[in-house]
A = this chain, B = another copy of it.
Amino acid sequence: MDSQPVHMPCPTRFAVDRLRSAGLRPTRQRIALAGLLFAKGDRHLTAEELHDEASGAGIPVSLATVYNTLHQFTDAGMLRVLAIESSKTYFDTNTSDHHHFFIEGDNEVMDIPMGSILVDGLPNVPEGMEIAHVDVVVRLRHKG
């Protein structure tokens, strides 16, 4: 019956399709990184974290390529950059409009559940400007 033999596992298929529709050539490294990024729900990663994860998964990819790839994905609208902490760039796999917890000390980023925060009374924007985005970061610390 199966006249179209499938040689690749499903996550790879998924990644390949996503890359193609973004106009990016599905190379080994991009497929692998997309697989890691988009397989398990929303994630917030630095380039270094993703690089470590790839290495750990037996995918040899250079840090430079991880950076390049993350920026390509960002330009293609598959990722969003978070400016939460100076000195480290976090990439968010959830590109929809939402906000974040940042846990000081642990340097961990978490999504704030949609709809549970409300920003109101936005101020008048200066002449000739428009709002590109509103970012809310709720910084948490350990109690005690």
Contacts and interface: CB of A to CB of B under 8 A. Distances in A.
Contact of A138 (B134, B140, B144): B134
A63 interface: no
Interface of A: 81, 83-89, 101, 103-104, 110, 112-113, 116-126, 128-144
Contacts of A138: 122-123, 125, 131, 133-134
Where chain A touches its partner, the secondary structure class is: strand
A135 B132 contact: no
Contact of A143 (B89, B129, B136): B129
Given A119-B118, A121-B118, A123-B112, A140 B132 contact: yes
A101 to B, nearest CB: 8
Contacts of A123: 112-113, 116-117, 138
